[in-house]
Structure formats: structure tokens, C-alpha cells
Amino acid sequence: MTITAAADGSALGNPGPAGWAWYVNDDCWRAGGWPHGTNNQGELMAVLDLFRSTAHLPDEDLHILCDSQYVINSVTKWMPGWKRKGWRKADGKPVLNVDILKDIDRELAGRKYRFEWVKGHAGHELNEAADERARAVAIAYQQGVAARSGPGFPDAEPAAGRRAVKEGRGEGGIPSLFESETPARRAAGTTARAGAGAPARAEAGTRVRPESEAPALFESDEPDLFSELGADELGADAFAEAPEATTPEEMVEALERELLRPDVRSDIGRTGQLLHPDFMEIGTAGRLWTRDAMMMSLEESPAGPVDLDVLSADRIGTDTVLLTYRSYSRAGSALRSSLWVLDGEQWRLRFHQGTPEA
């Protein structure tokens, strides 16, 4: 059996509100996106999610229809050379979108697949369907409304259980770990709806911010939202910035304090090192946040300083520390818990949840 699917991406402004989608038929498709991204990132994410959504069918041939020569060449021609050169191009510069390309590379192992280029916007039924859904997500982020994420692939692992593209489909909101809400905002409500794939940047009761008013912070690493400075490349040496600590509990507290600094939160490379690849947070609005969504949200809006008083730091396993504390910021105080795990020689944040105090 051959699975034939079209994969496409869309970005309004490129970069701008972005979406991705793959499409087999009306009963088998999936879409998601980000508040700010590029068309190439959307195209790549559509391919990545298609591989992940069909991972339970490793013996099936996967026929991918794609209108992006960049994606096809990246996967079928350039990637082997990039890997040999340490994910750098022939001119020595880092490969753009390297983290998502690495994820695609991992998904290719043991899979039977082939790409076919199709001309975009030329009436190809599957390509048009994928393009329509990707663009719908991008428009949803632009307008601050909900977008359809699709039924997914039958019997596939739920998206909430997959690395990197897992994401809640309910109410939006801001990450509780670094929330930048003011009391007035909280009183008005912070339940902006978002399509699957990343957090929206709008709040209930407020107008949607035009693209021209988007913070410049997000453009500092343009165009690679997933950053050439990922944890896989920098490794344990990057943790030298953390204050000295003699015990795991002290190390975890030091790293948590570092993660609460605005300059660290706005550094997508550093947050990528501190957050575990399977990081998950349940936000104050009930939204499920993932590592990629959190990193992109924080780069766009790192918020102000946050202080903390540690309530307890408990070793609950050889490689696991549970940190509970009270945080203080201009938005008020909150009770928080963070689960840190030892990943190789690095302590990384695996789970976080916070509840604002009345």
C-alpha cells in the first residue's frame, strides 16, 4: 500500500503568521502553525508531521507531493552533506531550520518514501487542499481565532504524545512559567484561541495586534525560529553560565533562577538548552505548551524580571528533582512546581505548572 499525501506551508508576510498542513483526504489531514514563521518552516513542519503521523505504518510507502524545491532538495540531496559537515553549508555557515531538519532526518530511518514535485496553485487537488488548510491556520493566527487542526491519521499516536509538534487544542493563553500578565489583563481574561501548533499572541477582550506592531525580539534570529544554537549542537558546555552548585538540588534551583531572567528567556538558543526535548507545561488557561511553542513564545515576549522563594527542592529519583516555589513579578505572585531531570550530564526542565495566587 502507498500513502499519498500533499504537504504545504503558508506564511502571511513571510515571515509572519504561519501555518502548515498535510492532506490525504477529507477524513485524513492535519494542520498547525505559529504566530510568526516563514513559508519554508511551514513546508518542513508539514513533512515532519506527516512522517510522525504515519510512524505506526513503517512498512507502507509514503508518496509526498510537495511544491517546495527547497524542502525536496534539503531532504533528498543536501542533508547528507550537511550532516558530514556538522550541519553547516558549503560556505561554512550554519544550516537554517537545523532543528526541524534534524527531526526529519531521525524520522527517515527505516521508512520507504519518495518526493514528487508538483506545481503550486495550479489546480492539483491534494496540493490545493493542503495549501488551503495551511493558509487557514496562518490567517487564524493573524486574526487571533481558532483554526481547525484536522482529524489526523487513523490510529496514529495522539499529537499530545509526540515530540516537538505535540500541542494542546483547547484554549490558548500565555505560558505560566514566564507569564507577563498584568492584573488588569488577568481580570479581562487571557483565553485567546489558537490553532494547533503554537500559542496565539492575543487575549480575550483585546484587539489583535497587527503584524506591524509585533515585537522586534522575534526578528533577532530571523529566519530560523528553531535556531542554529540548539541544545544538540551546543551540548553540556553551554551550561557553564549557570552558578556553581554542589548538589543536584542547588543546581536545579540555580538553573530555574536563570530561566526566569528576561535575557535568558529571549535567547532561543539558551532556552533550547534548558528545556527538555519533551518539555510540557500546563498553562494558567489550561493550555498544553511544548518546548518549541514555549521557546518561540518567550523569544517574542520574554516579560519582565521574576524573583522566587523556594518552598522545597526534593529528590524524587536518582535523576529527578521536584522544585516548588513562590514567584513574584509585576503581575503578582504565583505558586509553581518544576520537574527537572538529568539528561545525560545536563539538568533540563521536563514539566512545569503554575497557579496565580489571589
What residues act catalytically? 8-9, 43, 67, 121, 131
Q: How far apart are CA 22 and CA 32, in angstroms?
A: 10
- Whether 9 and 74 have beta carbons less than 8 Å apart is answered as no
Q: How far apart are CA 68 and CA 43, in angstroms?
A: 7
Return binding residues: 8, 43, 67, 131
- Whether 40 and 17 have beta carbons less than 8 Å apart is answered as no
The residues, any chain, with a CB within 8 Å of residue 19's CB and separated by 6 or more, are: 9, 10, 11, 31, 32, 33, 42, 133, 134, 135, 136, 137, 138, 139, 140, 141, 147, 195, 197
Return binding residues for Mg(2+): 8, 43, 67, 131
Order of strands across the sheet that contains 275-282: 288-290, 275-282, 346-356, 332-343, 320-329, 307-317
What is the torsion angle, in degrees rounded to the nearest 10, for the CA atoms of residue 235, residue 241, residue 243 and residue 249?
-30
